């Protein structure tokens, strides 16, 4: 029996990388399907192989798993967010951060396409998203020294680059590791969406960082909240910190008296925008989905005014 990490899944086959760097192609036993299990890229698996044919017998326990992108055992996620084309959406960014917090995956935020803004617009945008640095998330902007910014974060990690279609994930990874030679697509002006240039999840060894990096298919929406609504506040670090001072231990941070979170919002120590995301997500999880207009974000509207 051998053990390896799944680095690629394609058409029912799974490529596993062994400790010595060799890769073997396998299939999964039918028992996985019967048990409702599905191997994911990033999984550690025990398998047997004979005459070039491999069969996965068992999956190791996962440290974490993501639904979008479908991956397991992720250490770090580079959340690639475009400032324009496609338009910046704080709501979408916050959804991704909540999903990562829920799985204890460390995020680093990368904001792309700043060169499409004027100098004043760049300064305004950077000020707008400084709140994420205050929360404690590493923030990198297009135009920064990427090697200096990312090298200490990526070393010895399993890394996934995730984000909206057309946000620039493949472009970023090509800058960090030119040997990847990932295909880069253009954004459709009619739909303000990128063309899907990445169609599968693959973990690629990058010796310069001693890491495995995954480029993943993009998406246009992100609605993954697979946890009880009572846990939501735990996945907003600033709300989690303030909530210890709430009058009631079961405070939902919506209408209760003595809510330290609501007080922090009024004082400005928790941003109104982040609290609005919390309130919206709470309603979604409870099943009281409000009508949400997918118009341009306020940031884009401000640019047009």
Phi-psi sector, 165: left (phi>0), alpha (psi -120 to 50), beta: beta
**How far from 201 is each of 66, 71, 80, 237, CA to CA, in Å?**
12, 8, 16, 29
Q: Tell me the C-alpha distance between 103 and 78, whole Å.
A: 15
DSSP string for 172-203: HHHHH-GGG------EETTTTEE-----S-EE
Greater model confidence, 223 or 105: 105
**How far from 104 is each of 99, 224, 234, 237, CA to CA, in Å?**
9, 15, 11, 12
Q: Tell me the C-alpha distance between 277 and 38, whole Å.
A: 32
Residue 187 has pLDDT above 60, yes or no: no
Return the number of other C-beta atoms located less than 10 Å from residue 282's C-beta. Answer: 18
**How far from 252 is each of 236, 257, 275, CA to CA, in Å?**
13, 11, 12
Q: For residue 135, say if its preceding peptide bond is cis, omega within 30 degrees of 0.
A: no
Domain ranges in the chain? 2-59, 65-215, 229-286
- The answer to whether 115 and 143 are in contact (CB under 8 A) is yes
Known binding residues for GTP are 112-115, 163-171
- Look up the pTM and report it: 0.83
Known binding residues are 112-115, 163-171, 246, 251, 253, 259
Greater model confidence, 293 or 108: 108
Residue 204 has pLDDT above 80, yes or no: yes
Known binding residues for Zn(2+) are 246, 251, 253, 259
Greater model confidence, 261 or 218: 261
* Mean pLDDT score, 115-135: 95
In CATH terms, 65-215 corresponds, of 3.20.20.70, 3.90.930.60, 3.40.50.300, 3.30.70.1170, to 3.40.50.300
- Summarised one tens digit per residue, pLDDT across range 10-58 is 888 999 999 998 999 999 988 888 888 899 999 999 999 887 689 999 9
- What the block records as the tokens of 257 is 């008296």
Q: Are domains 65-215 and 229-286 of this chain identical in fold?
A: no
For the 229-286 domain, the top CATH level (class) is mainly alpha
DSSP string for 91-118: HHHHHHHHHHHHTTPEEEEEEE-GGGS-
Confidence label for 167 from pLDDT (cuts 50, 70 and 90): confident
Percent of the chain scoring above 70 in pLDDT: 86
What pLDDT score does 223 carry?
A: 66
CATH number of 2-59: 2.40.50.140
Confidence label for 220 from pLDDT (cuts 50, 70 and 90): low
Q: From the DSSP assignment, how many helices (H) and strands (E) are in the chain?
A: 10, 15
What pLDDT score does 207 carry?
A: 85
Residue 196 has pLDDT above 50, yes or no: no
């Amino acid at each position: 029996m051998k053990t390896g990490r799944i680095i690629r899944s394609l058409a029912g086959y799974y490529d596993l990388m062994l400790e010595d760097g060799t890769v073997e192609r396998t299939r999964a036993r039918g028992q996985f399907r019967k048990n409702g299990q599905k191997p994911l890229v990033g999984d550690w698996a025990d398998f047997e192989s004979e005459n070039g044919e491999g069969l996965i017998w068992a999956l190791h326990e996962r440290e974490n798993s993501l639904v979008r992108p479908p991956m397991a055992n992720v250490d770090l996620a580079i959340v690639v967010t475009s400032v324009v084309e496609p338009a910046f959406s704080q709501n979408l960014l916050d959804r991704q951060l909540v999903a990562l917090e829920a799985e204890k995956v460390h995020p680093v935020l990368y904001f792309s396409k700043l060169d499409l803004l004027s100098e004043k617009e760049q300064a305004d945008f950077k000020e707008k998203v400084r709140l994420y640095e205050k929360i404690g998330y590493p923030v990198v902007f297009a135009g920064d020294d990427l090697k200096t910014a990312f090298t200490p974060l990526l070393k010895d990690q399993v890394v996934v680059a995730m984000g909206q279609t057309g946000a620039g994930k493949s472009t970023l990874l090509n800058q960090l590791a030119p040997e990847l030679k990932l295909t880069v697509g253009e954004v459709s002006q009619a739909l303000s969406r990128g063309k899907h240039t990445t169609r599968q999840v693959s973990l690629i060894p990058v010796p310069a960082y001693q890491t495995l990096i995954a480029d993943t298919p993009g998406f246009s929406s992100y609605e993954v909240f697979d946890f009880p609504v009572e846990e939501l506040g735990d996945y907003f670090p600033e709300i989690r910190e303030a909530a210890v001072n709430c009058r009631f231990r079961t405070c939902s941070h919506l209408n209760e008296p003595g809510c330290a979170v609501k007080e922090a919002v009024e004082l400005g120590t928790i941003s109104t925008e982040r609290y609005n995301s919390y309130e919206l997500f709470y309603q979604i999880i409870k099943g009281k989905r409000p009508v949400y207009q997918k118009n341009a974000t306020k940031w884009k509207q401000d640019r047009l005014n």
